[in-house]
C-alpha cells in the first residue's frame, strides 16, 4: 500500500499540473476567441474544438482527483440507517462497487477508442479523433485503481478492527 501511495502522489502532482495548464489554456483560447470575434470579426478556426476537448480533459482529470481525495459524487442512502459499526462495511462495499463500475467504463472507453481509430475521423488540425478521447480510459482506469485500493484498505481495516475486537473480548 505504501508504494501505491507514493505512486499516487506522483500521479496527483501530474494531475494538478495538467489541470492548471489545461484550464489556463482553455481560458486563454476562449478569451482570445471573444476578442478576435468582437474586435476583428475573425477567430481561431480550431479554437472552439480545442476548448471543447480541454473541457473534457479538465472535467475527467478533476474527477480522478476527486476520487483520490474521497470527494467524488456518491449516493449515500443506506448508511443513514446503518449503525456506526456497519458504516465501514457499507463504505467498503461502495468502493468495491465503484471499482467495478469504473473498470467496466475503462473497458467501454477502450472499445470506443478502438472504434474511433477504425473510423479514421479527425478533429481540429487533422488530429485523429481518438487522441482527445484518451482521457476517458486513462481517467476511468485511474479511478478504478484508486477505488480498488480504497476497497483493499477498507478490507484490511475491517479485518484489523475485527481481530482487535475479538482480542478484547477474550
β-bridge partners, 128: 122
Determine how many CB atoms are found less than 10 A away from the CB of residue 19: 16
Name which of 55-69, 77-91, 134-148 the model is least confident about. Answer: 77-91
Q: What is the pLDDT of residue 73?
A: 73
Q: What is the pLDDT of residue 119?
A: 94
Task: Tell me which of 32 and 71 has the higher pLDDT.
Answer: 32
Asked if the model's pLDDT at residue 1 lies above 70, the reply is no
- Residue 77, SS3? coil
pLDDT confidence tier of residue 67, bands split at 50, 70 and 90: very high
Mean pLDDT computed over every residue of the chain? 89
Q: How far apart are the first and last CA of the chain?
A: 30
**pLDDT of 28-55, one tens digit each?**
999 999 999 999 999 999 999 999 999 9
Amino acid at each position: 500500500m505504501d508504494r501505491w501511495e507514493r505512486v499516487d502522489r506522483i500521479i496527483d502532482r501530474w494531475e494538478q499540473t495538467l489541470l492548471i495548464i489545461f484550464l489556463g489554456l482553455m481560458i486563454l483560447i476562449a478569451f482570445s476567441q471573444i476578442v478576435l470575434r468582437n474586435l476583428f470579426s475573425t477567430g481561431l478556426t480550431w479554437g472552439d474544438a480545442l476548448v471543447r476537448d480541454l473541457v473534457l480533459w479538465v472535467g475527467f482529470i478533476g474527477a480522478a482527483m476527486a476520487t483520490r481525495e474521497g470527494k467524488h459524487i456518491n449516493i449515500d442512502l443506506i448508511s443513514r440507517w446503518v449503525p456506526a459499526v456497519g458504516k465501514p462495511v457499507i463504505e467498503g462495499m461502495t468502493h468495491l462497487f465503484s471499482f467495478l463500475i469504473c473498470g467496466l467504463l475503462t473497458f467501454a472507453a477502450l472499445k470506443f477508442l478502438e472504434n474511433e481509430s477504425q473510423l479514421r475521423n479527425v478533429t481540429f488540425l487533422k488530429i485523429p479523433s481518438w487522441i482527445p478521447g484518451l482521457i476517458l480510459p486513462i481517467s476511468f482506469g485511474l479511478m478504478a485503481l484508486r477505488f480498488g485500493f480504497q476497497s483493499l484498505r477498507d478490507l484490511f481495516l475491517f479485518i484489523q478492527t475485527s481481530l482487535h475486537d475479538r482480542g478484547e473480548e477474550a
